Every structure is written in structure tokens, then in C-alpha cells.
Amino acid sequence: MANFEVRRVLVDPGSSVDIMYAHTFETIQLNERNLTLYVGSDLQGFNGAMTKPWG
């Protein structure tokens, strides 16, 4: 977007995820039994890397 004036930005609130990192999960003393099975597709980061959610 260099050298361009940005007048509008579209944000899609339906394409988001809530992420809890493993350290936080362990700190509040949860374990894998507390997860709900995730049946969706893998997640893709801004860098193109794919990640499989735990739950």
C-alpha cells in the first residue's frame, strides 16, 4: 500500500479465531480433557503457514 492513500478498509468479523496459547492453557491449569474437538479446516496465518488447532 506504499505510495497510496487508503480511504477505506474492510474488516470481516466472520473470519476470526480466538487463540489461547499453550502456556496460558497450562497456567490456568487446564488439560486436553477440557478441549472440545475441532472439526473445521486447518488455519492459515498471514505468512501462509498452516496450523492444525487442538480444539
Average pLDDT of span 27-47: 88
| pLDDT given at position 50 | 93
**Location of C-alpha cell 480466538:** 18
Average pLDDT of span 7-12: 86
Domain ranges of the chain: 22-51
Q: Rounded to two decimals, what is the model's pTM?
A: 0.46
Average pLDDT of span 14-36: 86
The DSSP bridge partners found for residue 43 are 51
| pLDDT given at position 2 | 82
| pLDDT given at position 49 | 93
| pLDDT given at position 20 | 85
